[in-house]
A and B are shown apart, each in its own frame.
Chain A
Amino acid sequence: MANGVSARRYSAVAILLHWASALAVLVLIGIGLTMTHAALAPLRQFQLYQWHKSVGVTVLALTALRVLWRLTHRPPPQPAGMPARERRAAAAAHHLLYLLLVGLPLTGWAVVSLSPFNIPTVLYGIVPWPHLPLAGLVPDPAAAEGILKRVHALGAWVLAALLAVHVAAALRHHFLLRDDVLRRMLPGRRPSTAPIVEPTR
């Protein structure tokens, strides 16, 4: 019954999770760059760090949901004429995106947990969030924090670069190859119209 629909489009849940993550990641990159590079008043800088932590944990949760959803729901297939090399590149890029969407929040969480400032995380100023129990595991927490900070920052740049590739690829599919790769992830369309329209093309 709905097979024709779900085979062509991502499910509403997958679409929602995707765009919520996208928005949150853009916010995180913006906050992250600002809080580490702008000359801010201490209060503003402190507040941005707290926002960064809250949104970062949100991305971690969204990514966990997405992975669960992805493992239990088949995504729509790639366009029929897509070259094998591109399929592999797309798969690799998507795997790397998932890896970064898990790894960046985790390294950020580890940095917060190892920081000599030991500042509690309270999500959106409301829900207390624990530290990772790392302090007892590493001989030199301050050194470990320094290394993880660099890994986190480096990972953020890799993610930003990969997002640029991701967006460019989606736009290439939409405007140059004129397939439905971007459309199937766009919200707001009646899915029921898709199977009727698509076979006529």
Chain B
Amino acid sequence: MNTRHLGRLAAPQRALSGVLLGALLGALPGAALPASAAEWTVDPAKSAIRFSGVQVGVPFTGRFEAAVEFDPAKPEAGHATVLVDLASARTGDVQRDEALPQKDWFDVKGSSTARFEATRFVDKGQGDYAATGTLTIRGTSRPVTLPFHLAVEGGAAHATGRVGLVRTEFGVGQGAWASGQWVALDVGVEVDLVATARSASGH
């Protein structure tokens, strides 16, 4: 499933997402990793961006396709951009997947991309970090901090993070959906990335 979704990314995007974790890692002061960001490649089969919510009292989860951009010229600036394709949201329920792109929800005709631009990385110790930046959905931008944990083991780096969002702060759920009566206002976004060092994969 991971492979299928992330595998659909266009080649340049996949290359970018390959740079991503390297970007995150390279930007982290004190991370015990090779200095060059470009030496890390995200494994699409093991990586995913997921979301979760509650509809009429029943939890559901879904996933997005995403690309991650990074300016390799300034890794020490801790700058990363995550582009999430909102039109790619899949939750395993055809009806929900039909509804999500429409104007009450993600309004993909307006803008099909959610953007998280992280401009600051804080080392919390014990492998915990916080990426602070701006999240933009439906043209609404808000400051968001994504806490994540980073584990590096045997040439593979695994970053997992979760951030809770209030969907209506971004206008997700218009009109009759702007209350939490049918669909809870609290949603979660999970980032789960695995990257391997290129040297370890025979580069």
A-to-B contact residues, CB < 8 Å: 41-43, 45-46, 50, 116-122, 125-126, 128
CB atoms of A42 and B57 under 8 A apart: yes
CB atoms of A42 and B98 under 8 A apart: no
CB atoms of B57 and A41 under 8 A apart: yes
Query: Which residues from A are CB-within-8-Å of B1?
Result: none
Is residue B12 contacting chain A, with contact meaning CB distance below 8 A? no
- Contact A122:B176 (CB < 8 A) given known A42-B57, A43-B56: no
CB atoms of A118 and B104 under 8 A apart: yes
Could you mark each residue 84-99 of chain B with 1 if its beta carbon is under 8 Å from any beta carbon of chain A, else 0?
A: 0000000001110011
> Which among A43, A116, A125 is the interface contact of B95 at CB below 8 angstroms?
A125
Query: Which residues from A are CB-within-8-Å of B57?
Result: 41-43
CB atoms of A117 and B177 under 8 A apart: yes
> Which among B56, B94, B175, B182 is the interface contact of A128 at CB below 8 angstroms?
B94
Smallest CB-CB separation from B182: which chain A residue? A42
CB atoms of B94 and A116 under 8 A apart: no
Is residue B11 contacting chain A, with contact meaning CB distance below 8 A? no
CB atoms of B98 and A120 under 8 A apart: yes
Query: Which residues from B are CB-within-8-Å of A116?
Result: 175-176
Could you mark each residue 40-69 of chain B with 1 if its beta carbon is under 8 Å from any beta carbon of chain A, else 0?
A: 000000000000000011100000000000
CB atoms of A117 and B94 under 8 A apart: no
Smallest CB-CB separation from A117: which chain B residue? B176
Query: Which residues from B are CB-within-8-Å of A46?
Result: 56, 182
**A92 to B22, alpha carbons, bound, how many Å?**
76
- Contact A125:B175 (CB < 8 A) given known A43-B58, A118-B102: no
Query: Which residues from B are CB-within-8-Å of A125?
Result: 93-95
Q: Report the minimal beta-carbon distance from B165 to chain A, rounded to whole angstroms.
A: 22
New contact pairs (15) apart from A42-B57, A46-B182, A125-B95, CB-CB < 8 Å: A41-B56, A42-B182, A43-B56, A43-B57, A50-B95, A116-B175, A117-B182, A118-B104, A119-B95, A119-B99, A120-B102, A122-B95, A122-B98, A125-B94, A126-B94
**A122 to B181, alpha carbons, bound, how many Å?**
22
Q: Report the minimal beta-carbon distance from B185 to chain A, rounded to whole angstroms.
A: 15
Query: Which residues from B are CB-within-8-Å of A122?
Result: 94-95, 98
CB pairs A–B below 8 angstroms (16 shown): A41-B56, A42-B57, A43-B57, A46-B56, A46-B182, A116-B175, A116-B176, A117-B182, A118-B102, A118-B104, A120-B95, A120-B98, A122-B94, A122-B95, A125-B95, A128-B94
